[in-house]
Amino acid sequence: MVACFANCAVVLPLTLTVLLLENWVLGSTMCFMLPIMQDTPLNLVTLTLLLITATQYHRLRQREVWPSSSLISLLAVWLTSICTALPYLIYTDYLDMEVYFGPAMQGVGLCVVNIAHDVGPFTKVLFVCM
């Protein structure tokens, strides 16, 4: 619930801003954080549904409550979701245009996928796991 609200309130407006402006105006920190913020809610929802399904299956099969703490399970889902999104830090680059073109380009930057690293295997593994 918190992840879905954060996604609607923060991530979607930021993503829409970038798409409409067709330029990166959010700075270098957000360049690295936005892909993580975009992916984490999807992972959270997927893993939470998986946890609910596994818990219900175990209850039906064993006819008893699965001996686990809800808080521990929730923390594990959050931790796993964040950890699966952290590799985006490796595959993202921020290019400050002021460095390349001088003071006339102050505050202008590009947020790009780093093609020096092969992002294909990471996205395939993430797709299969999720």
The stretches of the chain forming alpha helices (DSSP H) are 2-6, 12-21, 27-62, 70-85, 88-91, 97-101, 120-129
State residue 33's pLDDT score: 92
- More confident site: 43 or 61: 43
Number of domains within the chain: 1
CA distance 101 to 112: 18
Q: pTM for the whole thing?
A: 0.74
Residue 68 belongs to domain spanning: 2-129
Mean pLDDT, the chain, as a whole number? 83
Question: For the segment 93-124, what is each residue's pLDDT rounded down to a tens digit?
Answer: 888 888 888 888 887 788 887 766 677 787 78
d(CA 3, CA 119): 25
Question: What does the alpha-carbon distance between residue 108 and residue 101 come to, in Å, rounded to a whole number?
Answer: 10
Given pLDDT bands bounded at 50, 70 and 90, which one contains residue 66? low
pLDDT of residue 85: 87
Residue 40 buriedness (CB in 10 A; 0-12 / 13-18 / 19+): buried
- Which residues face 95 on adjacent strands? 110
pLDDT tens, residue by residue, 21-41: 877 888 889 999 998 999 899
Please state, in angstroms and rounded to a whole number, the distance separating the CA atoms of residues 89 and 40: 13
State the residue for tokens 């930057």. 109
| Dihedral angle over CA of 51, 56, 61, 64, nearest 10 | 100
Top-confidence range, 16-20, 71-75, 107-111:
16-20
Residue type, 84: T
Do 78 and 44 contact (CB within 8 A), yes or no? yes
